[in-house]
Amino acid sequence: MTEPDARAPKTADAAGDERRPRSVYGVGSDPDVRFSLANERTALAWLRTGLGLVAGGIALTSFASFADLSVLLDVVAAVACVGGGCLAVYALVAWRRNERAMRLGRPLPPPSALPVIVVGVVTFAAVVGAYAIWSGSTR
């Protein structure tokens, strides 16, 4: 009887494979570990960005309340917090989609949130820039 090659990819039906989520690890075969780890690093980067937005929103709300600043800052803080939460959800969804595609030998799906984020950032910059110009001209 020969020993199984430790480097060979495992299939989803391997006995004793209890990894979760089963919707990801229960299909296909294990891809090269480097690709799985790169996918995880990307998801963690999206998650860090989302956490940074939430922390920034909280800091901005605190600063606005202490300094008795415009309600616009509270709106900006709320948008940052909600955006950060949405990025965290997107990190998980994108990780799952990419990992399943790799396990099934399919092409990676396109980054669906990227166009939305770009439009959001450009809109946000335009609104805050217009507000800065307007508030500077009324002083």
Supply the pLDDT for residue 90. Answer: 95
pLDDT in tens, 32-65: 999 999 999 999 999 999 999 999 999 988 887 7
Check residues 72 and 114 and name the one with the higher pLDDT.
Answer: 114
Check residues 73 and 94 and name the one with the higher pLDDT.
Answer: 94
Supply the pLDDT for residue 32. Answer: 92
Check residues 6 and 21 and name the one with the higher pLDDT.
Answer: 21
Neighbouring residues of 85: CB distance < 8 A, sequence distance ≥ 6: 50, 54
12, pLDDT greater than 70? no
Q: What is the pTM (predicted TM-score) of this model? A: 0.75
**Average pLDDT for 89-117:** 93
Supply the pLDDT for residue 105. Answer: 95
8 Å CB contact between 70 and 138:
no
**Residue-wise DSSP of 14-66:** -TT---S-HHHHTSSB---HHHHHHHHHHHHHHHHHHHHHHHHHHHHHHHHHH
**Average pLDDT for 79-90:** 94
8 Å CB contact between 87 and 43:
no
Supply the pLDDT for residue 9. Answer: 54
